Structure 1
Amino acid sequence: MKETPLDIVVLGLSLSSSWGNGHATTFRALLRSLAARGHRILFLERDVPWYAAHRDMPAPDFCRLEFYPDLQALQDQWSEAVENADAVIVGSYVPQGVAVGEWAQRTARGITAFYDIDTPVTLAKLRQGDTEYLSPELIPGYDLYLSFTGGPTLELLMQRYGSPAARPLYCSVDAEAYQPQEVPKRWDLSYLGTYSPDRQPVLERLLLEPARQAPDLRFVVAGPQYPAEIVWPDNVERLDHVPPSEHPAFYSASRYTLNVTRADMVAAGYSPSVRLFEAAACGAPVISDIWNGIETVLRPGEEIVLAEDAEDVLSVLRAPGAECRERMAQAARRRILAEHTAGHRAAELEAHLQEAMRRKAPAPGSSWAKPFPAVTEMQRELP
């Protein structure tokens, strides 16, 4: 338990609904682990009909979740909480995110941070003049930029956009919720992900084309929002939505699962998907598209298979014996549990917040100043 628990307000896309987004599972795992470390968390979520109709966690037991109907209600009802928080974290894709960020920076007496679960997409938007949820002017005002993407992108955020501190905060996995299950193998290759136009060509190349060439093998694509005009091969099963509670069984029923990365994230590199961590934690061998930095997450050939085309995929699926597949799956699971659980991320976030608090700490005797434990304590070994 912390000597001084932090009061943290998070304004994120969604915590209540995992439908059509990867943010909810990321926030759930991270915030659950932060709460376990003693921190008090308030999550503020815009009440929108598409998530309201698909809420699979309306009342989390690890934080307080509140909904607001619009920007004015957010400001009217939650200004005091934002003002008094030790840290206020605004997430990417929050509706009216620029106005929300301006209000948070103007109101908060503690530190403010931007948690970008979509960093390469965000930067592509900024280059195009698209300020849907973040503007260039807002970045220097955040004390901390928490980035889904590591590598050279961090320097870009600081040098070109003026972030005082850009730090990596990859997605993670809830190691208790995502474990291998003893279920029959239903599919030779699975894919779990919401439809995205820039991912679809890769899905076509690495799953649909192999399915056409191998009618004796079984495939599945799970996730919402796929256009009705897509023609699915007969041996590709479609599941519109798999809730997080069923992810472990889904992955465990797959001989292999496919990781597909959005184009902007491939270009930036160092952008591992939450699905990559979750699948590996469930003991599903992963076949992935290729991007810079993937070797820093899982070792190609030992912990993950990298594929460029249908022939690469089919050579793996047709390989005889299960020994090699199981060895790779177990190696990947060990790596993820050693480096990429929500517990690891919570410790990293804690350290980043404390670093930002030290930079912003007012002079001794200021009424705002709060004591907080040293970073060495924050970064102690996980149990």
Structure 2
Amino acid sequence: MKIAFYGSSLVSAYWNGAATYYRGLLRALAQKGYDITFYEPDVYDRQKNRDIDPPEWCKVVVYPGTAEALKAATAAAVDADIVVKASGVGFEDDLLLQEILRHARQGALKIFWDVDAPATLSELRQSPEHPLRRSLAKIDLVLTYGGGDPVIDAYRSLGAADCIPIYNAFDPETHHPVEKEARFAAELAFLGNRLPDREARVEQFFLEPAAHLPQQRFLLGGSGWSDKPLSSNVTHLGHVSTCDHNAFNVTPKAVLNISRSSMAENGFSPATRIFEAAGAGACLITDHWDGIDLFLKPGDEILVARDGKDVAQLLAGLTRQRAKEIGQRALRRVLEEHTYAHRATTADAIFRAGAARMEAAE
């Protein structure tokens, strides 16, 4: 089956947290025989900051950031068996959805793939006339990369025919244990871009413990933090390329996951970073959110903190040996249950069931 996938970017992770999710899942689907074309706009300097070349398993079409180019790109949807519009493309999202639905052929499976469901649902609840909300009746299926029952119920209540989570995961060929690198040596490292609904939690879970542990080294990776006041024991690395993620994850004693506020409040929304860090054998400390135990066992495969004080206490009692053991157990768990091959098997079954329904309805 042919998939036309309209998303933010496949070739650049620059200001694009969904990149590794797209790459892992679409690569695994391609290995199952899907013919995939990914359409992405040339915006936000992403094409100047590519971290992979267009892969052989997926055709990549980059279109200029103009309405005319967008309309031309969506015309190709007519040839696809499955047409996907992802959330957060970042350029004329409403027009993109409109044009995709206009061009998708009758009988094609039309999917809205939400990579930030809590934020999207907040918008839809506040605006009954939101273009996406008005279009849900024309969309065959909503897929999300997290959210659990709260998100499923919310989308159905707004008129979606169905909503199914396809959770984050990792690709063992991309994220795996490597040798430690001295430049990433630290007691605790955090990697994430500076975002409005994450910043306060970064202050609480990362910057406050750092300020109270002046003898320990902390690493802060990600874009947007250059003008943020930091204690002297915090090193800001700026954007960390995906090719360095394995070393960044495996070198520090522990790696911190901090959910955005909306994700933490909703729960059942593991960040891609969790699986990627576990795939490298990292010892993870995460902020608390409902549903953690569905993915990793708290206290055994992952450590859970409810505030910055917890983070400091966990670090104080964490030996290098225990950190290594936690990381090894997490690695075993994600290899057994949380690779993109597992997620692609789920997506494949969903696609085939949806295609069968579409065929039966014709």
- Taking structure 2 as the reference length, the TM-score comes to 0.93
Once the two structures are superposed, residues 9-38 of structure 1 have per-residue CA deviations (whole angstroms, 9 ceiling, x without a partner) of 100011121011211111111111111111
Q: Shift in Å at residue 330 of structure 1?
A: 1.3
Check 1:12–1:131 CA distance in 2 against 1; reply closer, same or farther (3 A cut). farther
**In structure 2, what is the equivalent of residue 369 of structure 1?**
none
For residue 174 of structure 1, what is the aligned residue in structure 2? Answer: 171
- Distance in 2, Cα, partners of 1:90 & 1:62: 19
Gaps of 5+ in 1: 1-5, 367-383
Question: Deviation at 1:218?
Answer: 0.7
> What is the Cα deviation at residue 353 of structure 1?
1.1
Structure 2 partner of 1:17: 12
Indicate the SS of the match to 1:198. helix
> Which residue number corresponds to residue 266 of structure 1?
264
Q: CA offsets per residue over residues 205-236 of structure 1, 9 Å max, x none? A: 121111111111110110002261x2111110
Residues 124 and 264, structure 1, Cα contact 8 Å, conserved in 2: no
Q: Does 1:61 align with 2:61?
A: no
1:51 aligns with 2:49: no
Q: Tell me, what secondary structure is at the counterpart of 2:301?
A: coil
Q: How does 1:285-364 map to 2 (within 5 A)?
A: 285-319=283-317, 321-362=319-360
1:61 and 1:193 map into 2 onto residues whose CA distance is 29
For the 8 Å contact 1:86–1:111, the answer to whether it is kept is yes
Provide the aligned length of Structure 1 versus Structure 2: 355
Q: Residues 77 and 100 of structure 2 are in contact (CA less than 8 Å); yes or no, is this contact kept in structure 1?
A: yes
Separation in 1, partners of 2:43, 2:58: 20
Q: Residues 256-277 of structure 1: CA distance to partner in whole angstroms, max 9, x if unpaired? A: 0110111111121111100111
**What amino acid maps onto 2:339 in structure 1?**
T
Residue matched to 2:134: 137
Number of the residue aligned with 2:195:
196
Between stretches 146-155 and 286-295, larger displacement belongs to 146-155
CA apart distance, 1:41: 0.5
Cα separation, 1, equivalents of 2:70 and 2:210:
48
The Cα of 1:73 is off from its aligned counterpart by 2.1
In 2, distance between residues paired with 1:294 and 1:151? Answer: 14
Ranges in structure 2 where 5+ consecutive residues have no aligned partner: none
Determine if contact 2:97/2:132 at 8 Å carries over to the other structure: no
What pairs up with 1:181-260 in 2 under 5 angstroms?
A: 181-184=178-181, 186-226=185-225, 228=227, 230-260=228-258
Aligned to 1:379: none
Amino acid at match of 1:38: G
Q: Secondary structure at the match of 1:333?
A: helix
SS of the residue corresponding to residue 272 of structure 1 reads coil
Distance 1:130 1:241, change over 3 A: farther
Once the two structures are TM-superposed, the CA of residue 46 in structure 1 deviates from its matched residue by 0.8
Is 2:96 the partner of 1:100?
yes
Distance of aligned partners of 1:166 and 1:136 in 2 relative to their CA distance in 1, 3 Å threshold? same
More off after superposition, 272-281 vs 290-299: 290-299
* Residues 1:78 and 1:314: Cα distance change in structure 2 (over 3 Å): closer
Shift of 1:57: 2.2
Counterparts of 1:256 and 1:77 in 2: how far apart (Å)? 44
Partners of 1:321 and 1:10 lie apart in 2 by 45
Residue 307 of structure 1, CA deviation: 0.7
CA deviations over 1:158-196 (Å, ceiling 9, x no partner): 1x1111121111122111111111215601100011111
Please state how far the C-alpha of 1:320 moved relative to its aligned partner.
5.5
Q: Secondary structure at 2:175's aligned position in 1? A: coil
1:71 is aligned to 2:70: no
Work out the CA distance in 1 between the residues paired with 2:41 and 2:328: 40
CA distance in 1, matches of 2:11, 2:291: 31
Would you say 1:82 and 2:81 are equivalent positions? no
In structure 2, distance between residues paired with 1:48 and 1:358: 37
Q: Which amino acid is 1:210 matched to?
A: P
**Code of the aligned partner of 1:189:** L
Determine the structure 2 residue equivalent to 1:161.
158
Question: Would the alpha carbon gap of residues 311 and 183 (structure 1) be closer, same or farther in structure 2, given more than 3 Å must change?
Answer: same
Amino acid at match of 1:89: V
Report the Cα distance in structure 2 between the residues aligned to 1:127 and 1:226, rounded to whole angstroms.
Answer: 31
**Structure 1 partner of 2:32:** 37
Structure 1 residue matching 2:149: 3-state secondary structure: coil
